[in-house]
Chain A
Amino acid sequence: MTTSVPHLTELPLERPKGCPFDPPAELGTLRDEHPLVRLTFPDGHEGWLATGHTIARAVLADPRFSARQELMHSPLPGAAAMMEMPPAAPGMFIKMDDPEHGHYRKLLTGKFTVRRMRLLSERVEQVTTEYLDAMERQGTTADLVPAFAQPIPALMICELLGVPYEDHEFFRRNVMPLNLPDASAEEQGAAIDALGQYLYKLIVAKRAEPTDDILGELTTTELTDEELTSIAFLLLGAGLDTTANMLALGTFALLQHPDQLAALREDPELIDGAIEELLRYLTITHTGARTALEDVEIGGQLVKAGEAVALSAQAANRDPLKFPEPDRLDIRRNAAGHASFGHGVHQCLGQQLARVQMKVAFTGLLARFPKLRLAVPADEIPMRTDSDIYGVYALPVAWS
């Protein structure tokens, strides 16, 4: 049953020139012929790369594939430094399998429900309005990244968790290296330590005097300080850069697709579908990798016990078998089922928060600035190609 498949010596990362929204072309060419191929990982491990939508979902949903840290091989450059990781620290649940993963996740899911996140809409709207007001006061141009895309999700995740927003520069500095594959092991270690110490102090303070926020509420559960510090680390890290990049890159994509932007302006009811489509079309994150716990036959191939399968959400989200004309941004299509939040038991815990923030922020931005446009040529926008999270480093816009 195992047929000959291509063997990549590294994960393709280079995006086509002049197409800032498209994934590496090589991924698409591969996927259409071989949705599962051999891949040599940066640490030398010989594993697999899944690029097809069906296979990627199947791997993510299959408990025979593990997310455990000590079994992990990352396909991303810089991951060689992460060879032979120890088992995940208590509370670091994204690097665990069930039942340990489920034990932690169950303590959190009630705090991120669709209903609870929608109740935040009003607060997101206030925050969005404040930043839009500040942009207007400032003149007729701004860099949308610091003026809008970064502060809104940062403020919201801080409020929700109960992390003082005044400290956000400190923890942004210490989250950033974690997303930069070229950061050295020392830099990453220093960032993890600094952030860990900061959050540990915060947890201890909240335990002494519980506050009315997610971390405050969690101090009243059976979680230890160490577990709670890891959880705080995960939630803060996940909530900062991801939504910020969706807001900035999403705005860039809409401005570069005037017909889609006009359709959305004409019918703001299209926003929910537009957000799913932007999530699919832009796919700002990879989905990492899983490791086979036993021999598994998948997609006509035998993945042997111990072999890792890297999952390309970018390629899966452009799979024409799932999304017809996948390279077209079409806010009216049904983009549900995209892999941008992953799939399986680890699917993004904060996805409903991300949706609410994007809905309110995009809606507010477009309503406030009917003439919003890029202030520089599109090819001068600095793309964030050196990070695990794709996006833009700056987005100069004008609105007069």
Chain B
Amino acid sequence: MRLEVDRERCVGAGMCVLTAPEVFAQDEEDGRVRLLDRDPAEIGDAVQLCPAAAITANA
């Protein structure tokens, strides 16, 4: 799948990192999402769990 993240929407809750730590990270400064892998095979429920709807996954 192809991932996009919206850093403006991100509220730094960290649910994506908790769910798929090999795909997502948090910026050291502001805690907002950083993508480690744009085309991962698996991200579990990371899209659904993001409280700010900041992650989009296209098949």
Q: Which residues of A contact B (CB under 8 A)?
A: 60-61, 102, 105-106, 108-115, 334, 336-337, 341-345, 347-349, 351-352, 355
Contacts and interface: CB of A to CB of B under 8 A. Distances in A.
Interface in B6-54: 11-15, 17-19, 21, 25-32, 45, 48-49, 51-53
A142 B43 CA distance: 44
B52 to A, nearest CB: 6
Nearest to A347: B51
B52 A110 contact: no
Contacts of B30: 106, 109-110
13 contacts: A102-B11, A106-B30, A108-B31, A110-B12, A110-B31, A114-B26, A336-B19, A344-B51, A344-B52, A347-B51, A347-B52, A348-B13, A351-B14
Contacts of B31: 106, 108-113
Nearest to B52: A345
A105 B51 CA distance: 14
Nearest to B45: A336
Contacts, number: 73
A352 B18 contact: yes
Given A342-B51, A345-B51, A113 B11 contact: no
B12 A113 contact: yes
Given A106-B30, A109-B32, A351 B13 contact: yes
A106 B27 CA distance: 11
Nearest to A113: B26
Task: Give the interface SS of chain B, mostly helix, strand, loop or mixed.
Answer: loop
Contacts of A108: 31
B interface bracket (residues with beta carbon within 8 Å of A) = 20 to 34
Nearest to A112: B31
Nearest to A106: B30
Contacts of B49: 336-337
Given A337-B45, A345-B51, A105 B14 contact: no
Nearest to A334: B45
A267 B7 CA distance: 38
A78 B12 CA distance: 33
A352 B27 contact: no
Contact of A110 (B18, B29, B48): B29
Contacts of B53: 61
A136 B30 CA distance: 42
Contacts of B45: 334, 336-337
A60 B14 CA distance: 17
A110 B15 CA distance: 14
Nearest to B25: A115
Contacts of A352: 14, 18
A109 B32 CA distance: 7
A109 B12 contact: yes
10 closest cross-chain pairs (CB), A and B: A109-B12, A109-B31, A347-B51, A110-B31, A113-B26, A114-B14, A114-B17, A347-B13, A110-B30, A113-B31
Given A109-B31, A110-B26, 5 more contacts: A60-B51, A110-B29, A112-B12, A349-B13, A351-B13
A61 B49 CA distance: 12
Nearest to B11: A345
Nearest to A102: B11
Contacts of A112: 12, 14, 31
Contacts of B52: 61, 344-345, 347
A351 B19 CA distance: 14
Given A114-B17, A336-B49, A105 B11 contact: yes
B51 A110 contact: no
Nearest to B48: A337
Contacts of B17: 113-115
Contact of A109 (B11, B15, B25): B11
A113 B48 contact: no
B19 to A, nearest CB: 7
Contacts of A345: 11, 51-52
A343 B51 contact: yes
A113 B14 contact: yes
